[in-house]
């Protein structure tokens, strides 16, 4: 992969190699969905699939950026960054404007094997990878936590998605073979093993991404904030949904929608803690039940699923040898994460692909992955 990107670099720019090459992974999440912006807990990890960013200064000769997987590129003079219709270029431009204004012209080539719109956070991989690449290029020394928080600011302030810190923390700081248990209020995090004997975690990509995802996402976050303001009338000590219990919720007179949103977040936070216990006790059956319950909540209470995700999750959750499955990430498309017995992997992959194809007329992609490390510099 990196070899072909280096060749492309060489044939486009005539340089033998870029000044810096950075590798930024996609993120998976075992459980704890839509909890991060509610000060809750999440359990993400970095996956082995990744995005490479090759970058060099182009001293006064203007910007030239290329997204090799999409076969898109644009060039502009140093002081005007016109990224046109390309959203990837907007993420890069946003990152430069928050972190490295005045850095001058850059040559950038990005490419890898991270599918876009699959709910594995290719956009945060781009932002975090760019931050790290710019840090290497300029010799600055912020901690990875500070870079992760800056990454969140790019998405909130420039892109306009009111996201939490899960993706950036996982992409910046994950350790190989582990997932991260992250407390999104205190930002405390530690590594835990997600290995369950005889079992495997896989993803199945629906290959759909429904429109309005950003506005639906922001609407969920606004509904949570509004619920908190209602709950505070009875419980002024509450700062975020993380501080609320199901008992407290009973007395708060929330509308049906706000009650369901809040209940989901409270229950999902509880599921993260139950998952820690299940993983610790190597109990794949309980882990699977938690995944199923998470999907039900995301579908019925938080309402961020879609027909394609439901089809895959329902198919998996009825399949003998699958412990459990749920939609992963922001929702409205993207991937299902599934825990299954290793011996049914091949048969299940074929069966779920066929069933999905029958229903929707195209095949999903079964993605096998290992848990890898966070953003890193690639030495050439």
Active-site residue set: 167
Which residues partner with 329 through β-bridges? none
* Piece of 28-36, 186-194, 230-238, 241-249 that binds ligand GLA (CB under 6 A): 28-36
Question: Distance between CA 331 and CA 308 in Å, rounded?
Answer: 11
Q: Tell me if 220 contacts ligand GLA by CB under 6 A.
A: no
Q: Tell me if 26 contacts ligand GLA by CB under 6 A.
A: no
CB nearer to ligand GLA: pick between 34 and 107? 34
Q: Tell me if 162 contacts ligand GLA by CB under 6 A.
A: no
* Piece of 87-95, 158-166, 271-279, 363-371 that binds ligand GLA (CB under 6 A): 158-166
CB nearer to ligand GLA: pick between 117 and 321? 117
Query: Contact 207/364 with Cβ under 8 angstroms?
Result: yes
CB nearer to ligand GLA: pick between 5 and 304? 304
Q: Tell me if 324 contacts ligand GLA by CB under 6 A.
A: no
Alpha helices in 121-212 (DSSP H): 122-138, 144-153, 166-173
Distance of CA 240 to the CA centre of its chain: 22
* Structure-token pair, residue 9: 């670099």
Q: What is the dihedral of CA 190, 246, 165, 87, to 10 degrees?
A: 140
Q: How many residues bind ligand GLA (CB under 6 A)?
A: 11
Q: How many helices (H) and strands (E) does the chain have?
A: 11, 14
Q: Kindly state the smallest distance separating residue 166's Cβ from ligand GLA, in Å.
A: 5
- Cα angle for residues 84, 85, 87 (degrees, 5° grid): 110
Q: Tell me if 333 contacts ligand GLA by CB under 6 A.
A: no
Handedness of CA 24, 30, 35, 40 (dihedral sign): negative
Q: Tell me if 330 contacts ligand GLA by CB under 6 A.
A: yes
Q: What are phi and psi of 180, to 5 degrees?
A: -110, 130
CB nearer to ligand GLA: pick between 173 and 252? 173
Q: Kindly state the smallest distance separating residue 283's Cβ from ligand GLA, in Å.
A: 24
CB nearer to ligand GLA: pick between 34 and 178? 34
* String marking each residue 102-131 x if it binds ligand GLA according to CB under 6 A: -------------------x----------
Question: Applying CB under 6 A, which of residues 40, 129, 151, 164 lies at the interface with ligand GLA?
Answer: 164
Report DSSP letters for 81-138, one per residue: ---TT-HHHHHHHHHHHHH-TT---EEEEEEES--TTSSS-HHHHHHHHHHHHHHHHH
Question: Distance between CA 52 and CA 22 in Å, rounded?
Answer: 6
Q: Kindly state the smallest distance separating residue 294's Cβ from ligand GLA, in Å.
A: 10
Question: Distance between CA 294 and CA 296 in Å, rounded?
Answer: 5
Query: Contact 294/271 with Cβ under 8 angstroms?
Result: yes
Question: Applying CB under 6 A, which of residues 40, 329, 372, 374 lies at the interface with ligand GLA?
Answer: 329
Question: Applying CB under 6 A, which of residues 18, 33, 46, 266 lies at the interface with ligand GLA?
Answer: 33
Please, which of residues 34-53 interact with ligand GLA by CB under 6 A? 34, 36-37
Q: Kindly state the smallest distance separating residue 186's Cβ from ligand GLA, in Å.
A: 17
Question: Distance between CA 207 and CA 24 in Å, rounded?
Answer: 21
Question: Applying CB under 6 A, which of residues 45, 91, 167, 375 lies at the interface with ligand GLA?
Answer: 167
Which residues of the chain form contacts with ligand GLA (CB under 6 A)? Answer: 33-34, 36-37, 121, 163-164, 166-167, 329-330
């Amino acid at each position: 992969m990196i070899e072909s990107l280096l060749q492309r670099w060489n044939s486009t720019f005539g340089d033998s190699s870029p000044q810096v090459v950075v590798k930024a992974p996609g993120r998976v999440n075992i459980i704890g969905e839509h909890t991060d912006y509610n000060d809750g807990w999440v359990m993400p990890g970095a996956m082995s699939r990744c995005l490479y960013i090759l970058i060099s200064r182009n001293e006064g000769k203007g910007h030239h950026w290329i997204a090799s997987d999409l076969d898109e590129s644009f060039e502009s003079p140093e002081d005007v960054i016109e990224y046109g219709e390309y959203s990837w270029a907007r993420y890069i431009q946003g990152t430069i404007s928050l972190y490295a204004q005045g850095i001058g012209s850059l040559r950038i080539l990005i490419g890898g094997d991270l599918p876009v719109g699959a709910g594995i956070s290719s956009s945060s991989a781009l932002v975090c990878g760019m931050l790290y690449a710019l840090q290497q290029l300029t010799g600055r020394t912020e901690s990875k936590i500070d870079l992760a928080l800056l990454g969140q600011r790019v998405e909130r302030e420039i892109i306009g998605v009111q996201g939490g810190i899960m993706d950036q923390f996982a992409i910046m700081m994950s350790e190989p073979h582990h997932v991260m248990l992250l407390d999104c209020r205190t930002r405390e995090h530690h590594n835990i093993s997600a290995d369950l004997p005889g079992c495997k975690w896989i993803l199945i990509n629906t290959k759909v991404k429904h429109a309005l995802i950003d506005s639906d996402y922001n609407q969920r976050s606004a509904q949570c904030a509004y619920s908190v303001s209602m709950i505070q009338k009875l419980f002024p000590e509450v700062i975020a949904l993380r501080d609320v219990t199901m008992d407290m919720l009973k007395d708060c007179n929330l509308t049906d929608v706000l009650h369901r949103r809040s209940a989901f977040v409270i229950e999902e936070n509880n599921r993260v803690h139950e998952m820690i216990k299940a993983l610790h006790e190597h109990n794949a059956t309980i882990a699977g039940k938690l995944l199923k319950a998470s999907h039900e909540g995301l579908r019925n209470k938080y309402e961020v699923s879609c027909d394609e995700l439901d089809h895959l999750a329902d198919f998996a959750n009825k399949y003998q040898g699958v412990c459990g499955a749920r939609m992963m990430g922001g929702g409205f498309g993207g991937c299902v994460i599934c825990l299954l017995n290793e011996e049914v992997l091949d048969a299940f992959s074929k069966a779920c692909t066929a069933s999905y194809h029958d229903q929707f007329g195209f095949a999903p992609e079964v993605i096998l992955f290992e848990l890898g490390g966070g953003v890193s510099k690639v030495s050439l």
